[in-house]
Structure 1
Amino acid sequence: MERRTVIKLRDRPTLIKETAEWFASKWHLPVAVYEESIQASTRKNASVPQWYVVLDEWGEIIAGAGVVDNDFHDRVDLTPNVCALFVEKDYRNQRIAKMILETIKQDFAEMGVKMLYLVTDHTDFYEKYNWQFIGMAQDNEGIPVRVYQMPL
């Protein structure tokens, strides 16, 4: 397995459009939503939002995630939220998601953030990486979702 690195999009604004299109294709939100958020991450002194990607040897995006104020749930007090974590199928089980999560944790710890949150239905995955289940929230459609936290 070759060594991959996580790219912080605030450091590579040339990837904004491509990354916005990639996330939109995975999570079915408008490209403009991602483009605006990723663009905001490039502003000086912005802790949130932040976006991260991993490229393959040809420069194609194979994985990514973001950190936003709120990931479409009713617990607005639980912020910031890791969101949109996705690894292309051919690249799964290579610890790429773990690498992204570790980069996010380190990045936000350096910013002075004490806690990260996320909502998900992928319980085993995040628990394997020591995320702590703290309760339920409701998403924007009123559907219950599990909330996790990660102390930094």
Structure 2
Amino acid sequence: MLTIQVAIAAEWFHSKWGVPAEAYLECMKAYLSGKTEYGWYICLYDESIVAGLGVIENDFHDRKDLTPNVCAVYAEEEHRKKGLAGNLLNKVVDDMRNKGVTPLYLVTDHFGFYERYGWEFLCMVQGDDEPKMTRMYIHR
């Protein structure tokens, strides 16, 4: 049963970000088998995933020294502005801190949202396959 649920979560993240579901599945299985302390977090409503995020080594940017990265933060549109993403962000920060993993980094184009949850602008980073620069945030 757990394998089916993990596959469903991997497909959900794939549908939001376009990264192959197999990549999400590999990361999730590594966490569940104890090979990494970086995990995945989802919020369910009526047995459907309505929000989620993950923690990975690097979120496709050129600053490989800024690790680990919170990634794939997403809330379904009809469930936004209810605190789901913010609660997940707070949960991941607490979980990682309890494991001795600080700071955390996050790449985003959003302004104002992450600052409400203690994230601070750090620098601009370049995507692995993009000329465009993106904002990098840190949570200490």
TM-score class normalised by the smaller sequence: over 0.9
- Give the equivalent residue in structure 2 for 1:102: 90
Residue of 24, 44, 52 corresponding to 1:34: 24
The answer to whether the aligner puts 1:52 opposite 2:32 as a matched pair is: no
- Give the equivalent residue in structure 1 for 2:78: 90
Please list, as runs of the form range in 1=range in 2, the aligned pairs for 1:1-150 lying within 5 A after superposition.
14-44=4-34, 46-48=36-38, 50-56=39-45, 58-140=46-128, 141-150=130-139
Gaps of 5+ in 1: 1-11
Deviations 1:26-81 (A, max 9, x none): 00111111111111111226212x1000000x211000000000000000000000
Q: How many residues align?
A: 138
Deviations 1:99-127 (A, max 9, x none): 10011011001100120001100121112
The two structures, once aligned, show a CA RMSD in angstroms of 1.2
CA distance in 2, matches of 1:103, 1:24: 22
Gaps of 5+ in 2: none
1:13 positional shift: 5.4
Tell me the SS of whatever aligns to 2:112: helix
Query: Which runs of at least 4 in structure 1 moved beyond 3 Å after TM superposition?
Result: none
CA distance in 1, matches of 2:138, 2:32: 25
CA distance in 1, matches of 2:89, 2:115: 13
CA distance in 1, matches of 2:5, 2:99: 23
- TM value normalised by structure 1: 0.86
